[in-house]
Each structure stands twice: as C-alpha cells, then as structure tokens.
Structure 1
Amino acid sequence: MEVVYQSNLRCGNCLSKLKPYLDAEPTIKQWSSDLADPRKLVRVQLSSIAEKTRVLDLFHQAGFSAQELVTVKPDEKETSKFKLSSYRPLLLVVAYILGVTLFTEFAIGQFEWTRAMNHFMGFFFLGFAFFKLLNVTAFAEAFQTYDVVAKRWHGYALAYPFVELGLGILYLSQSFPLLANGVTIAVMGIGLVGVIAAVRNRKPIQCACLGTVFNLPMSVVTIVENSVMIAMAGGMLLM
C-alpha cells in the first residue's frame, strides 16, 4: 500500500533529519521524496493501512509535520488509473458549454462554424477561469505540481486564471483573433507538455483544470482536453 504525504520539509537538510526515522521503521517497505513539488511530497510503501498514522508520528519525532494526501491500495492501482465517473464534473461543464454554444447559434438563426468555435472557446475559457478564480492560491499550488512553467515561476501560476479570463473575452468579442489563437496555442501547448509528463510518470496528481473545487485525477482526459483546444485554435488561424 502506498501513501502520499504532504509535508513542511524545506530542503535536503530537512530530509536528512527525517531519513533515519523512516529508514528504521520496520513497517515501511520503502519511501521516496519529491522536494521539487511545492507540496514537498513523501511517498511511503507501508505493510498495512493501520500504519499510516505511525508515519505521521515519525514526522513529528523528527521535528516536522505532514498530512495524508492520498492512499493507493495494491488492489486499487490498476482500477484507479482511469474511471470515467471521476470526470463527471468536467464532462458536465464541457457539455454545458457545448449546449450554450449550440443554443447561441440557434438563437442567431444560422449556424456558422467560425462563430460557433469562437463562442465555444470563449465560454470554455470563461467557465474554466471561474472555477480557478474561486481560490487562485490553491489553484496555483496544484498547478505548480505539473506545469513546466509554473514550477519555475509562481507568478505564472497566479496569473493563469486571468489569462484564461482574457482569452474568453477575446473569443466572445471576436477581437484580435491572431492574438487569441496564438496565446491559446502557446499556453495550452505548454500545459500539454506538463500533463503528458505527469500522466507518463503515473503520479497521483490533481488536475487543476477546474481549480481545486473538484478532485479530478490527472489522466488522458486532460491530454485530450488540451489537444482539442490547440487543434481548434490552430484550425481558426487557418480559416
């Protein structure tokens, strides 16, 4: 059984203080750390679920604190890779955006692909920005766990919801199409790199596409989401 803990470790020196306690604990099969992650993760392989609190005691004895982030039991590792039900909030939001887009085109009286794509992408960015803006700080912390730019620049993570908000306004107003589509390709492309890396590493990372309101796991669904937006923006540049 693997348990992932979020800690207040700060550096390698802190880790060296904790190491003897974890190494000497017989119930711990193996452990690893990821101090590059803003949450300072420590992954521990335990012999039984009852020992989870024992790890917290070891952190305390070493002079640090931690909290359990996620637990993956051996029989759940395969089934937890992908569950469509886990993405119900995301699918509902996308369906809602698609419905509003179709309704808008119906209200206009004539379906036009370019305008419909502008509406869809505008509603998409406004909707996704809304969930991120509910707690920008929490979103930024989650975003930094996988985005290649946000890991190195905290300001980018904090600004990201506002970038999406601006893109939504540009698409709905159909202003500066080259700028809107160019920024979309760049931003979503950068995000796609981090998402692919996270999925390939199979780390238990929360997808922050809807902020931290919903606990969405990172998977191929996020890859598809980013890829579709890049393809749509690229297609609109060619129109």
Structure 2
Amino acid sequence: MALASDSGGKTASLYRMVMDKHVCPYGLKAKALLERHGFTVDDHWLKTSEETKAFQRAEHVETTPQIYIDGERVGGYDDLREHFGEHVAEKGETSYRPVIAIFAVAFLMALAVAWSATGTLLTVRTIEWFVAIAMCILGIQKLQDVESFSTMFLNYDLLARRWVRYAYLYPFGEVLAGVLMIAGVLVWVAAPIALFIGTVGAVSVFKAVYVDRRELKCACVGGGSNVPLGFISLTENLIMMAMAIWMPLRMWLG
C-alpha cells in the first residue's frame, strides 16, 4: 500500500470511507483542512466495509479516516488538527462558547426586532427584547432534552430538590415568560414567573458555588452542556429578576 507523500509538493495521503450509503464526515473535514493548509490530497476512497476493515488491519488502526504526511501516519481528523496546532476539546472540557453564542444571537435578534418595529436600534425596548429572546433560546435548549436538563438541574437547584417536578416545569415557565415579554402582553403573568424562577435560581447558584464551593456544570443551556456553574449562571438569574421587576414598573409609570 503506497503511503509515501511528496513532501516538496506538500502532498498528503488520505484514506476515508466513501460508500453508496455513507460518506464519512470526518473524512470530508480532513480533506478540507489539508487543502486549507496548502496540501494536494492523494484521496483514497474505501468503498466497502470489507475494504475499510482490510485497510484497518493492514495499518493496525481502529478508525478512519487516516492521514499520512511525509510518509508518516498523522492519525485521524482530531490528530490532524493537533498536527496543525489547532485546539481539540477533550471530553468533558468546560466551555463558555454555548452561552456566548446564545446571548450574541439573542442580541442580534433584538436589534433586528427593534429595527423592524421602531426603525431604531438601541432603545429600552431593545434591551427588554434581548433578555426575553435569550430566555426563549435558553428554554429551547432545555426543552430539547428535558430529562437530561432535569438531572443536571437537580444537582444544585434548591426547590427542585424538594419538588422534583419543578425541574420539568422550569423550562416551560422560562419560555412562557420570555414569549409574553417579547410581545409585551400579560406582563402580570410573565413577571411573577420570571421573578420566581430567577430568585430561586440565583439563591441556588450562589449557595452551590460561593457557599458550598461546589464545582458543577450549569444546566442553563441544556443537560448536555459543559458550561461551568458560576458567575454567568448567577448573572442570568439576576437579569431575569431585574426584568421581572422592570417591566411592570415601566407599564405602571408609563
């Protein structure tokens, strides 16, 4: 099996599964990554399960794709990323990326709504829409897998530990309050819900992180997240509380 590469011309050999009913996505990623780094890819397709297993036996590997540069095996897609100095997340590694993505998109959506509704970008209502939209997106994340969310939530929420059903109701309440706040209707329903879940959440997070000094994952973006429980989780709940107080006050004053 010819695995040597032309190092002068920056050529790499790639062995990947390309079958009638399955094209390996990591093989496609590996090919694109090599090409971005200026390599000409000697692309070898493993078209059947038998070809794939034969290749794995011959090269003493358990997975495909496999990449070879300068005649040396680099490994699979993650190994290739490491070879090029890119970060490869370890299993269970904490990350704030999901939270950043949610709040960034929520803010952009709030700007879009503000421009469409008022022709102006930055108003008080824009901030209200931002918080409300963020609540809805966070609620959607939880509703994708309520069982996983409830399991993680029970690690630290004080009310849920006393009444487990609250862990299942929480995301529905968050989404309901967010939708009503976006519309600016039934604030007398939305505000108490947001104030209640925000207050319980803030107290629970503060106790778990700053009193008990526990290192936990936050359930705020769903049960499968690696977001650490801490300042961001506390801030989220405090903002929800502030929104619940502000909206009725604004309507009363105005």
Q: What is the TM-score normalised by the length of structure 2?
A: 0.57
Aligned equivalents of 1:217, 1:195: Cα separation in 2? 11
Q: Which moved more, 1:144-153 or 1:211-220?
A: 211-220
The DSSP-based 3-state class of the residue aligned with 1:234 is helix
Taking the TM superposition and a 5 Å limit, the aligned residue runs for 1:31-42 are none
CA contact (8 A) 1:117 1:232 kept: no
Aligned equivalents of 1:169, 1:106: Cα separation in 2? 19
User: Partner of 2:220 in structure 1?
Assistant: 209
**Shift, 1:156, TM fit:** 0.5
Q: Can you list the C-alpha shifts for 1:106-137, whole angstroms capped at 9, x where unaligned?
A: 22213574532442233112101111011101
Q: Which moved more, 1:86-95 or 1:141-150?
A: 86-95
CA contact (8 A) 2:153 2:160 kept: yes
CA contact (8 A) 1:206 1:218 kept: yes
Aligned CA-pair RMSD:
1.7
**Shift, 1:173, TM fit:** 2.1
User: Partner of 1:163 in structure 2?
Assistant: 173
2:241 matches 1:230:
yes
Q: What is the TM-score normalised by the length of structure 1?
A: 0.60
For structure 1, the 5+ residue unaligned runs are 1-84
How much identity, in percent, do the aligned residues show?
A: 31
> What letter matches 2:219 in structure 1?
A
> What letter matches 2:189 in structure 1?
L
Higher relative contact order (CA 8 A, sep 6+): 1
2:108 matches 1:99:
yes
Aligned equivalents of 1:117, 1:182: Cα separation in 2? 19
CA contact (8 A) 2:111 2:122 kept: no
The DSSP-based 3-state class of the residue aligned with 2:96 is helix
> What letter matches 2:245 in structure 1?
G
2:154 matches 1:144:
yes
Give the count of matched residue pairs: 155
**Shift, 1:152, TM fit:** 0.9
* Larger-gyration structure (1/2): 2
